[in-house]
Amino acid sequence: MKEKLEPFLPVIGVVGLFAVWFGATSLKLVDPVLLPSPMEAGKAFYKGMYGVLGFDFVKTVYRTLMATAIAAVIAIPLGIVLGASEKLYRSLEFVIDFFRSTPASAMFPLFLVLFGVGDETKISVAAFGAILVILFNVAYGVMNARKTRLLAAKVMGASRLRVLFDVMLFESLPQTFVGLRNGVSLALVIIVVAEMFIGSQDGLGHSVFEAQQMFEMPRMYAAIFAAGALGYGLNLIFLTIERRFVHWSGK
Amino acid sequence: MNAAQHALRVETAGVPSANSLTVGAIKRPHVTVRGLSKKFGKTTIYDNFDLDIPRGELISVFGPNGCGKSTLINMIAGLIPMDAGQILFDGMQLADIKFGYVFQNYREALFPWMRAFDNIAYPLKMMNVSPAERKARTEQLVARLGVKIDLNLYPYQMSGGQQQLVSIMRALVVEPEILFLDEPFSALDYEMTLFMREQLQKLFMESGTTMVLVSHDLEEAVYLADHVLLLSRHPARVADFPAVTSPRPRTDATLSDPEFVSTKAHCLEVFQREVRRA
Ligand SMILES: Nc1ncnc2c1ncn2[C@@H]1O[C@H](COP(=O)(O)OP(=O)(O)O)[C@@H](O)[C@H]1O
Ligand SMILES: [Mg+2]
């Protein structure tokens, strides 16, 4: 009986949240202009996704995935090279850590000068942030490859290059996926912020910002919800790929 | 290589064995260790150490914890460098022979991203054997050993014993001239350990490969060995190198055989003497 209820536990939180929201609006505990009822917000979301909000959603997905893809293509090979040579990594560690700790949003003005106000700027700032996160994780994954496994490959006559591709690469995959998931989350944050403030005509960030400016609260909540669903969905997709692809992780 | 070539190499490249340890009647040595020295920091583990390992025998290495058993086979197998000395295999260098190594920690030694079958075939890939022949030779080995495990599983889907069996098969697939095993069963439960001892004895009798087995269990060391290499505390010396003459296949009955019992008692005596020595 208890086990049967187990899968439904997460639903309780969701139902609870909507109940509180519904209660607060129907009892008029909050200004209805600031917090519309769940039904109104839901209607705005439903209608929006078939219209402008849907278009903004697709734009943000495109930019986020583009940034993540560019970051992955640059950071994964670089991370493997850095991780394989501990001396090289140690000599660059400070630079990587420093830029990893620098808020990527602080780079907007620089990238605006470099790329103008188009998509390139948003995507490249997000890619910049994601690169450092992915790079760091890949390099650590390679560096923390199990010593015994490397020795085993060496004992079987594997060359250094073979050890790199046959063992270190696979050993680093679980950590690489951690990096990819963090990278895509960060890219989404940066893209949404960029869409709000740097001369954007579309995207979820723009949608939230515009709705707020025009005081269309249901539409704003709908856009916020869409952004949340996107972040959650991206994480879920990456987790699913990871489980299939890195089936040995944690075993 | 044929026997004549072997003999030739021993004659021409053989090392003088005046100071070698030849306790009892030992076959022509397979491995000769001469003047081996090794320090870790200020600790001397080996100082001018000599040893002959007879061909086609199973040698158990037994000694106090931390005396240098792993260090010895790791240096012979080229996993760690030696400070000084020479190790030859029939007069040849390690790079010229085929050998296998089985790690204690099978979990970390196998490749979890490969199925068991591909794990076993991996060393053949390193020897540039074609995929078709890799498959054929691996299947041959499996058939010869009569192993009944589903080799399409990934290592983490198998029991510890099965994983270690896969490790041993991976080491045997290249038909090594010598096989090193560092406490291969110590991470297994007792029941599995007993089973794996039988498996190893079967493999040894089947293949005739020279084997060097590090064990921390005296009964196991004596039960499996043709000679027991008893080491002192470091700097390690050969405390004794007694032969175990009980006929193979050894069984549970061997354990209560008077000769076996007395050999084991002798080993224990030597071990305790070495442990007590300050
Ligand atoms: N890489 C290393 N660095 C420093 N000391 C080591 C290292 N490997 C082993 N030792 C030391 O050398 C001694 C012999 O180690 P080992 O050969 O592993 O012993 P065992 O006989 O138990 O297998 C031990 O005292 C150990 O602490
Ligand atoms: Mg050891």
Report yes or no: B123 at the A interface, CB cutoff 8 Å: yes
Judged against a pLDDT cut of 70, whether residue B19 lies above it is answered with: no
Judged against a pLDDT cut of 60, whether residue B11 lies above it is answered with: no
- β-partners of residue B231 are B238
Q: Which of A206, A179, A192, A195 is nearest to A68 (CA)?
A: A179
- β-partners of residue B53 are B31
* Distance (Å, whole) CA A50 – CA A90: 51
Instruction: Please write down the long-range contacts of A236-243, taking CB distance under 8 Å and 24 or more positions apart.
Output: A238/A177, A238/A180, A238/A181, A238/A184, A239/A181, A241/A177, A242/A174, A242/A177, A242/A181
The helix-helix angle for A217-245 and A204-213 (nearest 10°) equals 160
Mutate to test the interface with B, among A148, A151, A155, A176 (most CBs of B within 10 A): A155
Q: State whether the beta carbon of B38 lies less than 6 angstroms from ligand 1.
A: no
Judged against a pLDDT cut of 60, whether residue B259 lies above it is answered with: yes
**In testing the pocket of ligand 1, which one of B43, B46, B71, B76 has its CB within 8 Å of the most ligand atoms?**
B71
Could you give the residue ranges of the DSSP H alpha helices within B128-227? 131-145, 160-172, 190-207, 218-224
User: DSSP state, B94?
Assistant: G
Q: State whether the beta carbon of B184 lies less than 6 angstroms from ligand 1.
A: no
Report yes or no: B115 at the A interface, CB cutoff 8 Å: no
The separation between CA A87 and the C-alpha centre of its own chain, rounded to angstroms, equals 30
User: Can you give the pLDDT at residue A1?
Assistant: 56
Report yes or no: B154 at the A interface, CB cutoff 8 Å: yes
Reduced to 3 states (helix: H, G, I; strand: E, B; else coil), residue A50 is coil
Considering chain A, what percentage of its residues have pLDDT values greater than 90?
Answer: 66
Atom of ligand 1 nearest to the CA of B69: 21
pLDDT tens-digit map of B33-85 = 999 999 999 999 999 999 999 999 999 999 999 999 999 999 999 999 999 99
- β-partners of residue B49 are B36
The helix-helix angle for A169-197 and A204-213 (nearest 10°) equals 30
Q: Domain of residue A77: give its range.
A: 58-200
Per the structure, the count of domains in chain A is 1
Judged against a pLDDT cut of 60, whether residue B14 lies above it is answered with: no
Nearest-5° Cα angle at A183, A177 to A189: 145
* Distance (Å, whole) CA B44 – CA B23: 25
User: Can you give the pLDDT at residue A2?
Assistant: 62
Which DSSP string do the residues of A83-135 spell out, in sequence order? Answer: HH-HHHHHHHHHHHHHHHHS-GGGGHHHHHHHHTTSHHHHHHHHHHHHHHHHH
Judged against a pLDDT cut of 80, whether residue B13 lies above it is answered with: no
Least confidently predicted of A27-36, B17-26, B213-222? B17-26
User: Can you give the pLDDT at residue B147?
Assistant: 81
Q: State whether the beta carbon of B40 lies less than 6 angstroms from ligand 1.
A: yes
CB contact under 8 A, B156 and A248: yes
Judged against a pLDDT cut of 70, whether residue B10 lies above it is answered with: no
* Distance (Å, whole) CA A64 – CA A149: 36
Report yes or no: B191 at the A interface, CB cutoff 8 Å: no
Establish if A50 belongs to a structural domain.
no
User: Can you give the pLDDT at residue B24?
Assistant: 46
Closest C-alpha to ligand 1, atom 17? B68
Give the model's confidence band at B278: pLDDT under 50 very low, under 70 low, under 90 confident, else very high.
Answer: low
Report yes or no: B175 at the A interface, CB cutoff 8 Å: no
Max intra-chain CA distance, chain B:
58
Establish if A211 belongs to a structural domain.
no
Establish if A70 belongs to a structural domain.
yes
CB contact under 8 A, B103 and A154: no
Give the model's confidence band at B5: pLDDT under 50 very low, under 70 low, under 90 confident, else very high.
Answer: very low
User: Can you give the pLDDT at residue B204?
Assistant: 93
pLDDT tens-digit map of A43-52 = 999 998 998 9
Q: Does ipTM come in above 0.90?
A: no
Strand order in the sheet with B178-182: B99-102, B178-182, B210-214, B58-62, B227-231, B238-240
Least confidently predicted of B4-13, B109-118, B122-131? B4-13
Establish if A172 belongs to a structural domain.
yes
Q: Which residue in the set A152, A156, A248 is minimally distant from B113, CB to CB? A: A248
* Distance (Å, whole) CA A135 – CA A92: 12
Mean per-residue pLDDT, B145-156: 90
Give the domain CATH number at A97: 1.10.3720.10
Judged against a pLDDT cut of 80, whether residue B23 lies above it is answered with: no
Establish if A6 belongs to a structural domain.
no
Q: Which of B69, B40, B277, B53 is nearest to B178 (CA)?
A: B53
Establish if A40 belongs to a structural domain.
no
**In testing the pocket of ligand 1, which one of B40, B104, B234, B274 has its CB within 8 Å of the most ligand atoms?**
B40
What mean pLDDT is reported for chain B?
A: 89
Establish if A145 belongs to a structural domain.
yes
Closest chain A CA to residue B154:
A248
Mean per-residue pLDDT, A158-181: 92
Peptide bond into B235 cis (omega under 30): yes
Query: Checking DSSP bridges between strand B178-182 and strand B99-102, what pairing results, if any?
Result: parallel
Establish if A16 belongs to a structural domain.
no
Give the model's confidence band at A5: pLDDT under 50 very low, under 70 low, under 90 confident, else very high.
Answer: confident
Considering chain B, what percentage of its residues have pLDDT values greater than 70?
Answer: 90
Contacts of B109 in chain A (CB under 8 A): 148-149, 152
